[in-house]
Structure 1
């Protein structure tokens, strides 16, 4: 039923609708803020992974 549901023209249609809804002036700002948010999310995820990989110094002392 959903075979080949996402065609290239679907993406073009979504982009045109976004352009009409948000306007051409706001789209670059939105993309920039999304990129910043993704960078922050990735750095926080790396920090959490590195914290989990490091043994805690307080648990080694009696």
Structure 2
């Protein structure tokens, strides 16, 4: 059972009905980009496997020579910005914790 010209024409007609003629070029572009990205990722994985096999032999000979010092972990700019925002929030009078008045129950 082979696909004839009428079946192909029917499939094209259904696709046009579903997606519309204006969206088909965008859809084709998107499929092409996805295929290109997929090909590049597959090639990269194959190259990584080759480099990893070659790199494993050199890594075993280089390992005793490496004397890396442990790095000190510092706060990044995002953490510093977060802390400064929090400090600014608590420095405002309306956000500061009020002392308990004698004779009042704070949990009530």
Calculate the TM-score normalised by the size of structure 2.
0.49
Find out whether 1:34 has 2:31 as its counterpart: yes
Query: Any stretches of 5+ residues in structure 2 without a counterpart?
Result: 64-108
- 5 Å-filtered alignment, 1:1-62, equals 3-4=1-2, 6-54=3-51, 55-56=54-55, 57-62=58-63
Aligned length: 59
Q: Per-residue displacement from partner, 1:3-58 (whole Å, max 9, x unpaired)? A: 32x22321111011000111001111000000000000001111011111122243
Q: Which has the higher helix share?
A: 1
Bigger Rg, structure 1 or 2: 2
User: Gaps spanning 5+ residues in structure 1: where?
Assistant: none
Pairwise CA RMSD: 1.6
Higher relative contact order (CA 8 A, sep 6+): 1
